[in-house]
A and B are shown apart, each in its own frame.
Chain A
Amino acid sequence: MTVDVVESPQLMERTSVWDLVRRMWRSPSGVVGLVIVGSLLLISVLALLGLTPHPPIQADSTSRFLPPGPDHWFGTDQFGRDVTSRVMQGVLVSMRVAIVAVAISAFVGSIAGITAGFFGGWPDRIIGRITDTLFAFPAILLALTIVAVLGRGWVNTVIAIAIVYTPIFVRVARGPVLSVRELDYVKSGRVLGYSPPRLLFRHVLPNVSAPIIVQIALALSWAILTESSLSFLGLGTQPPEPSLGLMVSEARTLFARGWWLMVAPASAIVLAVVGLNLLGDGLRDVLDPTDSHRR
């Protein structure tokens, strides 16, 4: 499957980001994905700039458990804090963890995968063995153990998620490299005496980037899932900083007092995961012509 990706003439040309967005606009799942992810990014930026309707961690005992209304769109929680503002801040926290973690794992994983695929031999065997070992753990179990070792907090959550998802990028990057390295232009590059880094980054990487890009969108959605799951268990982002997972966890016992306490953060998580999945589907439609028969 991936062989066709690298051989398709479309991809041999240089495509700009703008071009990509324009083509995504024609795939229905791509459009919805772009809109959802775009809005979440906007919300994150607003939260980052402190432009939430109310301060997210300011308690107010006079306005506890207010139902959704014009002043508090998603009501207030057990300490009188504005749920809308807390969810916005929570989206920022989740996005921050997901983006940093996926950036690390995509970077490390792709380099390891390309190296393994390009050179073969013992680097391939060692990297393959490590990857297999990490794959033998169910993801959440591994993340949980790592967080338990490193301690709580968002930086350690990032490290845990990065370690868990690196092997996926190793596999995704390694596969296509195996076929690309046999192509004529790479061989001629070798004959011309290009250095291995130049061959890898100028000649091989651009032609195996499509599956990696698709994988980044999917990995971001898993990272948000994992981050909120760890926060739910009390191991991720620590209070009083708002986190979507912890908000859902607390809302379990308060559901009778305020359904909005669960609905608001839960919808934010679901939207983020669904949006990133759709974005991944859309990217695959655009970047991988061989997959188009699936839909």
Chain B
Amino acid sequence: MKRYLLRRSVGALLTLLGVALLVFLLLRVLPGDEITARYGIESGALTPDQRAALERYYGLDDPLVAQFFNWLGSVLSGNFGVSVTSGRPVSHLIANALPVTIELAVLSTLIGSVLGVAIGVMAASRPHGLRDTVGQSFGLLGLGVPNFVLASAIIAVLSVRFGYFPSAAQYVDLWDDPVVNLQQHLYPAITLGVSLAATTMRTTRSAYLEVSSQDFVRTAQGKGVPPRRVRWRHILHNASIPIVTIVGIQFGYLLGGTIIVEEIFALPGMGRLVLTGLAQREFAVVQSSVLVVAAMFVMVNFAVDLIYARLDPRVRLS
């Protein structure tokens, strides 16, 4: 177990280093740099001397390798750089945006897993019956309707019916007003929850069917355990491993997969931070936020593996 932990941690670190390198290289290829971001079209009027001075100031005249390690070194010491456009430290921007995304991801996962497990059990308890057809159709549609289509439909109905249109300026922090905050998170969480529920439903259904054909289930039914108890205690409990795994993996994806939904519902989370950063050519903002998202993704997957081993004593991590 210890060796496994060590090997997986080294692997995760190498992956993160690769991610950092890739993000760094991708953004260096982007046209424009921190100077154009700071001075806009005026940067075209800079004399070569002024430009050189600015490049020295922003560290752009260093060799690429040095720039990469400088950046990585400061990231590791908690310094993510400064957003040139807003003049605020990137670490502050991320500290503000990350909780929004995490809250959204947690809410969506809650909605998605409860809905998905319920529909999955419903479908699997009567295979090939009407309930199964309904459940399976939900699974198929939930996967087929893209987030942005569902979100757009919700917005369209909300704006026509209630004249409501989301805007980032009105965002209320969870600690300031939990009710308003939860209202603002509700529809985006439902949007993401539906597709999550579809995946969870499909996994739940197949895991449930697999377990329900086993002997101990028949024994339980034979000795007169009430059907409801058989369903939840005996079958679902034993089918929980793949379900927990898929929910965990989905949670990881949500941390980075909320971009479009955040954009549509104007939630100031990590997705919007990346999108505006890309539009404004802000290296520091995009590099750091993508790195933070990828790091969390890698860590969540790591945690899912550990939970998996914990739930199933038969799994030996090696």
Contacts and interface: CB of A to CB of B under 8 A. Distances in A.
A274 B257 contact: no
Contact of A133 (B15, B143, B147, B160): B15
Given A144-B274, A145-B278, A255-B156, A138 B256 contact: yes
B274 A149 contact: no
A263 B10 CA distance: 49
A137 interface: yes
A130 interface: yes
Interface in B143-164: 143-149, 152-153, 155-157, 159-160
A269 B149 CA distance: 9
A152 to B, nearest CB: 12
Interface stretch (B20-28, B42-50, B227-235): B20-28
A245 B264 CA distance: 13
Nearest to B14: A129
Interface of B: 11, 14-16, 18-19, 22-23, 26-27, 29-30, 140-141, 143-149, 152-153, 155-157, 159-160, 206, 209-210, 253, 255-257, 259-260, 263, 274-275, 278, 286, 290, 293-294, 297-298
A100 B253 CA distance: 26
Given A149-B29, A269-B149, A274 B260 contact: no
7 contacts: A129-B14, A145-B274, A228-B148, A233-B263, A270-B144, A273-B143, A273-B146
Contacts of B14: 129, 132
Contact of A229 (B16, B29, B140, B148): B148
A141 interface: yes
Interface of A: 129-130, 132-134, 136-141, 144-146, 148-149, 221, 225, 228-229, 232-233, 245, 248-249, 251-253, 255-256, 259, 262, 266, 269-271, 273-274, 277-278, 293-294
Contacts of A232: 148, 260
Given A129-B14, A256-B159, 4 more contacts: A141-B274, A145-B286, A266-B153, A294-B206
B156 A251 contact: yes
B18 A130 contact: yes
A144 B145 contact: no
Contacts of A252: 152, 155-156, 159
B22 A270 contact: no
A30 to B, nearest CB: 14
B260 A137 contact: no
A140 B144 contact: no
A136 B257 contact: no
Contacts of B26: 145-146, 149
Contacts of B23: 145
Contacts of A139: 257
Contacts of A251: 152, 156
A262 B274 contact: no
A141 B290 contact: yes
Nearest to B154: A252
Contacts of B144: 221, 270-271, 273-274, 277
**Which secondary structure dominates chain B's binding surface?**
helix
A114 B140 CA distance: 32
A130 B255 CA distance: 22
B145 A270 contact: yes
Residue of A136, A251, A255 with most partner-chain B CB within 10 A: A136
B257 A248 contact: no
A140 B257 contact: yes
Given A141-B290, A149-B30, A294-B206, A229 B260 contact: yes
Contacts of B152: 248-249, 251-252, 262, 266
B149 A270 contact: yes
A93 to B, nearest CB: 16
A14 B115 CA distance: 44
A138 B253 contact: yes
Closest 5 CB pairs of A and B: A138-B256, A133-B18, A255-B156, A274-B144, A273-B144
B3 to A, nearest CB: 19
Contact of A144 (B149, B159, B259): B259
Residue of B155, B156, B157, B297 with most partner-chain A CB within 10 A: B156
A252 B209 CA distance: 41
B278 A133 contact: no
A65 to B, nearest CB: 15
Nearest to A261: B156
A5 to B, nearest CB: 18
B15 A277 contact: no
A274 B155 CA distance: 23
A133 B144 CA distance: 27
Nearest to A294: B206
Contacts of A140: 256-257, 259-260
A36 to B, nearest CB: 10
A294 B274 CA distance: 40
Contacts of A273: 143-146
A221 B144 CA distance: 9
A274 B156 contact: no
Contact of A248 (B149, B255, B294, B298): B149
A239 B5 CA distance: 51
B114 to A, nearest CB: 23
Contact of A138 (B141, B159, B210, B257): B257
A136 B15 contact: yes
Contact of B19 (A136, A228, A233): A136
Residue of B149, B156, B209, B255 with most partner-chain A CB within 10 A: B149
Contact of B255 (A138, A270, A271): A138
Given A129-B14, A273-B143, A138 B278 contact: no
